[in-house]
């Protein structure tokens, strides 16, 4: 009987301790096979639909895109490649994790395509 009482008292603690929390935050590394200047990256962000509150600092950019908070950092720049990391934060939104990942994956791909379109000297890349 004592074991049953102990189990009944401890069960709610274990259930609360095992609760899964939805993070809704993702970081993606991307690269393109051409040089992207900070000026072109800024211009691309400014011309992307549903973008607001852009803050720039050398090769780092913070902005809101479709209600998500985005931080973008450019890392490696050579004459033939540019790498950047894009962090998308949707923790403040009440979205299912599956919905969040589908939306942010589509946003990241569309944003990379915008960079290719606006910053590449070659058409069709």
pLDDT per position as a tens digit, 66-110: 899 999 999 888 878 999 999 999 988 888 889 999 999 999 999
Contact criterion met (CB below 8 Å) for 111 and 102:
no
| Structural domains of the chain ordered from first start | 24-119 (3.30.530.20)
Contact criterion met (CB below 8 Å) for 115 and 47:
no
Written as six digits, the tokens of 24 are 């809704």
9 has pLDDT over 60: no
DSSP three-state, residue 94 = coil
Confidence of residue 17 (pLDDT cuts 50, 70, 90): low
Give 3-state DSSP helix, strand, coil % of the chain, rounded to 5: 40, 30, 30
Place of tokens 């401890």: 10
- Which run of H or of E encompasses 79? none
Confidence of residue 1 (pLDDT cuts 50, 70, 90): low
């Amino acid at each position: 009987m004592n074991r049953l009482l102990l189990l009944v008292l401890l069960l709610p603690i274990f259930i609360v301790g095992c609760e899964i929390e939805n993070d809704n935050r993702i970081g993606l590394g991307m690269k393109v096979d051409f040089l992207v200047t900070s000026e072109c990256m800024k211009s691309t962000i400014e011309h992307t639909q549903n973008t607001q509150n852009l803050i720039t600092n050398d090769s780092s950019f913070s902005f809101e895109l479709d209600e998500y908070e985005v931080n973008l950092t450019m890392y490696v720049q050579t004459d033939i490649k540019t790498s950047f990391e894009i962090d998308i934060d949707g923790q403040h939104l009440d979205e299912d994790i599956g919905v969040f990942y589908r939306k942010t994956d589509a946003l990241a791909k569309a944003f990379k395509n915008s960079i290719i379109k606006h910053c590449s000297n070659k058409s069709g890349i």
